[in-house]
Amino acid sequence: MFHIEEIQAQLDDGAALAQLLADTPWPQSMQALLRKPFFARKWDIGKQSDRWLASDGSTVVLLTITGATASAVARARLRFDDLRIAAPRLQPSRETVRGILEGIAREDDRAATLFRPPPER
């Protein structure tokens, strides 16, 4: 079972932006980069979580994904990147990433069923 937390802040709200960045692996100096389109991700091996930080130049979005395996997160990253090829301005959201991870979980369940060893006789 995975969980996705989403936090948003407007770039013109310095206090909200500082609070959003306070609990991330990125420094406060990132604020200058967020003034134009920006997208980054970082896996935290110790917490087994993934952070996605994105900005469209006015709103910053931080997603924290927990409870998903590193493999599932890597696959979700690739699928999201594929979506961005078709829609370059696509920003990550809880709903989008949840849909991707749920699809991956369904595929894994189907694969487990298909490749389950036959019962012993």
Reported as a single tens digit per residue, the pLDDT across 10-47 is 999 989 998 999 878 888 788 889 999 999 999 999 99
* Residue 120 maps to a domain: no
Quote the pLDDT of residue 24.
86
CA 40: distance to chain centroid? Answer: 9
Using CA of residue 30, residue 77, residue 68, residue 61, what is the dihedral sign?
positive
Structure-derived torsion over alpha carbons of residues 23, 26, 31, 33, reported in degrees to the nearest 10: -150
* Residue 55 maps to a domain: yes
* Residue 121 maps to a domain: no
Q: Which residues, listed in sequence order, are joined to residue 24 by a DSSP beta bridge? A: none
Domain that holds residue 19: 3-114
Given a cut of 70, whether residue 113 has pLDDT beyond it is: no
Q: How many domains does the chain have?
A: 1
CA distance 39 to 51: 11
* Residue 119 maps to a domain: no
* Residue 24 maps to a domain: yes
Quote the pLDDT of residue 28.
78
